Amino acid sequence: MLEMIKTVTLNAAIDKTVEIQDFRLGAVNRISKLQLDAGGKGINVSKVIQALAGESIAVGVLAGRNGEFIQAEIERRGIAHDFLFVQGETRTNLKVVDPVNSTFTDINEPGTTISDDDLKQLEEKIFKDFDSDTSLVISGSVPSSVPSSIYRQWLERAKTLGGKTFLDADSELLREGLKAKPFLVKPNLHELEHLVGHKLSHLEDIAEAARNLLRQGVEVLVVSLGSEGALFAYQEQVIHAEALTLEVKSTVGAGDAMVAALTLVPSGADYLTRAVRWAMATSAAQVTTPGTQPPELNRVLSYIDQVRFRLFV
């Protein structure tokens, strides 16, 4: 049977990316470029999986006109989906890109209300035809109406069915989700610091925190460090990969691109080095695209051999 990847997005969004030259607080700012994308972290993962010639089913919650726009975009791209439409309106997230000062500002709406009944219906969609050949990717925030234990519940059910599980979340969603011992977890540095309860100022500190999470049952931990690259931990190895030097058009979706690449790396010999190369190359290609447009495969492939990393002892 073919392997299937299901991505879950509980807080989908239209990503409205605006470019403003020399953006100023408390002043009138004029937009020089505007782009609308179907967004939400799981949806972004599905878009990049497709760009890497993989296949996934995007599962999630949509509402209103914005939800219809997102579904139409996903269908236009030819990505399989099984969305649940609920009452309300899917949020719009504003991304302000200022090329003059090289700043990227996110202004995110909270999201629509999801009821307990909605969650039950969504869970049915997630686990429809779910078996040991299925990977489950759960990422992003949830509306305030959703309990912080929801990711842990779904990850535990997926593991019971023999599926491979991936988690990319923050705060209590991350803390609770870790109890399910996912195969792979991808926090950024801020999320990892929030989890451990203190600053991690040096790579040695981050590496030690990563090793501690592996001891708790996570198999692969990837910590994205922005311009400092990323730290990868697997079995007894910790690797620090450098960020590629590129012209950054948008940082939105860089972590999602990394997760997408990691879902497609098969286990086996040299798993970690292959995971590092693919994750870093895909993330690099993502930041060179405007908005949350997925990168082109040719560009990802061109970056694979440019990835530089070292074993962290």
Range 179-191 average pLDDT: 95
- What single letter denotes the amino acid at residue 41? K
Q: What percent of the chain has pLDDT over 70?
A: 99
Residue 278's domain spans which residues? 4-311
Lowest mean pLDDT among 214-223, 280-289, 290-299: 290-299
Confidence band, pLDDT 50/70/90 cuts, at residue 1? very low
Asked if residue 250 has pLDDT above 80, the reply is no
Range 238-245 average pLDDT: 92
Q: Average pLDDT of the chain?
A: 93
**Which of these, 167, 164, 129, 128, lies nearest to 148 by C-alpha position?**
167
Could you say which of 131, 256, 270, 305 is catalytic? Answer: 256
Quick: pLDDT tens for 112-157. 999 999 999 999 999 999 999 999 999 999 998 999 999 999 999 9
Asked if residue 57 has pLDDT above 90, the reply is yes
Counted domains in the chain: 1
- pLDDT of 2 reads 59
Quick: pLDDT tens for 33-48. 998 989 999 999 999 9
Range 59-63 average pLDDT: 97
CATH of the domain at 47: 3.40.1190.20
Would you call 205 a catalytic residue per the annotation?
no
